[in-house]
Amino acid sequence: RGKADPHLVVIGGGITGLTTAFYAIRQAKAEGLGLKVTLIEGSERLGGKIRTMRRDGFVIERGPDSFLARKRPIIDLSRELGLAEELVTLNPATKKTYILRGGKLHRIPPGLVLGVPTEWKPFVTSGLIGLSGKLRAALDWVLPAARGDADESLGGFLRRRLGDQVVDFVAEPLLSGIYAGDADKLSLLATFPQFRAAERKYRSLMIGLGRGAGATRSGAAGEDHIPPHARGSAFLSYRRGLSALVERLSETLQAEGAVLLTGEPVRAVTPERGGGAVVTLANGDALLADAVAVTTPVSALGELLQGVPEASLFRDMAYASVANVVLGYRRDAIRVPLDGAGFVIPRTEGRFITACTWTSEKWLHTAPRENVLIRCYVGRIDDERWRTMDDAALGAAVKREVAELIGIDVEPEFLDITRLEKSMPQYEVGHLDKVRALRDALMKKAPGVFAAGAGFEGVGLPDCIHQGKQAAEQAVAFTRR
């Protein structure tokens, strides 16, 4: 390698990989160091799960559709990329969200924080939960806090504090949707560690969250970090959709001299004795890297990193497969009011769709005003019926439920299906121990190789960005050791 600039290879061109490359270049520049960056993406397209389709005035998200405004890393990145002006807020007129219970839509009671009631009055008067469920939830005020630091399931924790009804009919459908998972299997510490912290500090979860104990590792309280025009909205997106972020990152990386390879899957990362690694592509080419950031889905790690047995800890990690079905209508054909953001469906309802967003009402930038856009979510970790269906059958099943649940029975002008096989990693109990074991093993057996992304410490876009930034800092520090 002689005196040439050190070489960082980033594997994976989703949001984590793009962010890693971006911050590595920035950091090296700030320190006056030379750094050559190559980003290698296996598919033909950058962005990974992020995929916006723009057509006929519609902005249609086929993957993620927005992000939590209170989480700082994505707001900072938006600013650094000159995208802050493009941030758009939720339509303030559609504050209501519903939960299906007994075939009917019930308004989610105000005062819910992360699916947990924190205001007594709206909760008591809600028709979502029976009297016995409300009385059981009230026990949260007096039940002692559990001891010990061991992980437990998210569902187990919430059932212990709030009882089964609140979990099954309110918290689970709201929280598990993020993972398309089963709350009784998901790890509390890897998904909502703030619940444990609230119990520790306040004993009662309802009181703790009511007092603001909901902030997370990459979350910030308050709104000071958000540009003024984008304040007052729990979620944000961009006027041209989330792909605007991917496009701006890739333009910036190219302008900074990074090499972006697409359609080139990596086959192996072979650690070098003195640090760094040889990165071998499926086409047989090999690149010598002083540092490597692996940001692929974690199930691929075992294959890629054969010299590190701990990489196989994630080989059997469960991933939920989901489908998105987007339906576009002419507004004058819709005879029912869509007075909110949409609804979620508890698994106990036994429905085919898991949630439905009234996208054009929730996000004004997504459709021309003379149209209505609806997005239905299908599939969860224990319901893969849709995978055996062709597009016609899948579309028909969704249209049937849209007619039954919200009364829209006209044919849509268009229907778009996105199949996202094995797209949502399931952080099961003990997940963070595996992450630590892998990171320790990489340090010892593959110095200079770093791993980050949705399979590790947070699936949300801000969490992926946070991880990408950390990987960049570690990689740059390693190259100048």
CB 346, min distance to ligand FAD, A: 19
Rule CB under 6 A: say whether 66 interacts with ligand FAD.
yes
By the rule CB under 6 A, 69 interacts with ligand FAD: no
Q: Decide if residue 461 touches ligand FAD (CB under 6 A).
A: yes
Task: Report if residue 360 touches ligand FAD, rule: CB under 6 A.
Answer: no
Which of 185, 226, 460, 474 forms a contact with ligand FAD (CB under 6 A)? Answer: 460
Please list, in sequence order, all residues whose beta carbon lies within 8 angstroms of the beta carbon of residue 16, skipping any fewer than 6 positions away.
48, 295, 452, 453, 454, 464, 465, 467, 468, 471
- Count residues binding ligand FAD (CB under 6 A): 36
Parallel, antiparallel, or unpaired: how do β-strands 319-330 and 371-378 relate?
antiparallel
Binding mask 246-275 for ligand FAD (x = CB under 6 A): -------------------xx---------
Min CB(281)–ligand FAD separation in Å: 8
- Rounded least distance, CB 464 to ligand FAD, Å: 5
Counting contacts by CB under 6 A, is residue 447 touching ligand FAD?
no
Binding residue (CB under 6 A) for ligand FAD from 78, 89, 423, 474: 423
- Bridging pattern class, strands 291-294 and 7-11: parallel
Regarding 465 and contact with ligand FAD (CB under 6 A), the answer is no
Is 155 one of the binding residues for ligand FAD (CB under 6 A)? no
Q: What gap in Å lies between CA 179 and CA 460, rounded to an integer?
A: 10
Which one-letter amino acid corresponds to residue 167?
A: V
Q: What does each C-alpha distance from 394 to 61, 324, 411 come to in angstroms? A: 19, 10, 15
Among 6, 10, 16, 397, binds ligand FAD (CB under 6 A): 16
Minimum distance from CB of 104 to ligand FAD (Å)?
26
SS3 168: helix
Q: What is the CB neighbour count within 10 angstroms for residue 356?
A: 26
3-state SS assignment for residue 375: strand
Binding mask 293-332 for ligand FAD (x = CB under 6 A): --xxx--x---------------------x-x--------
Name residue 299's amino acid.
S
Question: How far is 281 from 146, CA to CA, in rounded Å?
Answer: 49
Ranges within 393-422 binding ligand FAD (CB under 6 A): 420
Contact between 298 and 457 under an 8 Å Cβ cutoff? The reply is no
Pick the closer one to ligand FAD by CB: 153 or 295: 295
Compute the least distance from the CB of residue 131 to ligand FAD, in Å: 35
Give least dist CB 212 to ligand FAD, A. 21
The reply to whether 49 sits near ligand FAD by the rule CB under 6 A is: yes
Please tell me whether residue 6 binds ligand FAD under the rule CB under 6 A: no
Identify which range of 48-56, 98-106, 192-200, 363-371 contacts ligand FAD by CB under 6 A.
Answer: 48-56
Reading the block at residue 132, the tokens are: 């016995």
The smaller minimum CB distance to ligand FAD, of residues 321 and 371, is found at 321
Contact 105, 410 (CB under 8 A): no
Amino acid identity of 336? V
Judged by CB under 6 A, which stretch of 250-258, 329-337, 358-366, 459-467 contacts ligand FAD? Answer: 459-467
- State how far the Cα of 369 lies from the Cα of 278, in Å rounded to an integer: 53
Q: For the CB of residue 462, give the shortest distance to ligand FAD in the complex, in Å.
A: 7
Whole-number Å distance between alpha carbons of 431 and 94: 36
Q: Closest approach of Cβ 335 to ligand FAD, in Å?
A: 29
The pairing of beta strand 353-357 with beta strand 104-107: unpaired
Question: In 453-472, which positions are buried (b, 16+ CB within 10 angstroms) versus exposed (e)?
Answer: bbbbbbbbbbbbbbbbbbbb
Does residue number 11 form part of the binding site for ligand FAD (CB under 6 A)? yes
Report if residue 378 touches ligand FAD, rule: CB under 6 A.
Answer: no
What's the CA angle centered on 99, arms 95 and 103, to 5 degrees?
A: 135
Question: How far from the centroid of its chain's Cα atoms is residue 461's Cα?
Answer: 5
Which of 6, 12, 177, 340 binds ligand FAD (CB under 6 A)? It is 12
Looking from the CA of 259 toward its CB, the CA atoms found within 13 Å total 12
Under rule CB under 6 A, residue 177 binds ligand FAD: no
Residue 17 to residue 208: CA distance in whole angstroms: 36
Interface ranges with ligand FAD (CB under 6 A)? 11-17, 40-43, 48-50, 63-67, 265-266, 295-297, 300, 322, 324, 420, 423-424, 453-454, 459-461, 464
